[in-house]
Amino acid sequence: MSVPIQLVLDAKIKPGQENTLDKVAQNLVPLVEKEKGTLDYRWVRESGTPNVCFFDLYSDSNAFVEHFKNAKGNGTLDDLMACVDITGVTVVGKPEPAAKEILDQFGAKYYEQYAGFSRIAQLQPATIEH
């Protein structure tokens, strides 16, 4: 049975990297949108601060591993990591060993849902504005 994997990555934009991060987003988001197993992929920013948060939802562990390999292979992961410092990674779900091995490199904390529900609404694609 495939189990969805949800990630919340907290990060801080490195000094002087805001414009570069915008370019990374413009390059990366359209590539990720083509990944069938990536169901939700959003970058949000706390106004007036360097704090950013990445929300990802994958159909299963294999979809996450594919996403990571794509980002590593096309250089966009390196581009992103040059712009931000990851300050926390929250994982909801039970990732399989290959996904967990990747996530552990970022100090992930793992949670399993025990109550509640989710209604995923169709959101309009965001545009970069400052």
Cα three-residue angle 108-110-111, rounded to 5 degrees: 145
Collapsing DSSP to helix, strand or coil, 97 comes out as helix
Task: Show me where the domains of the chain are located.
Answer: 5-111
What pLDDT is recorded for position 3?
85
The whole-number pLDDT of residue 128 equals 57
CATH number belonging to the domain at 5-111, selected among 3.30.70.100, 3.30.70.1150, 3.40.50.970, 3.60.110.10: 3.30.70.100
| Residue range 60-66: mean pLDDT, rounded | 97
**pLDDT tens, position by position, 79-99:** 999 999 999 999 999 999 999
Q: What is the CA radius of gyration of the chain?
A: 15
pTM of the model: 0.88
* pLDDT at residue 119 is higher than 80: no
Burial class (CB in 10 A: 0-12, 13-18, 19+), 84: buried
pLDDT at res. 130: 52
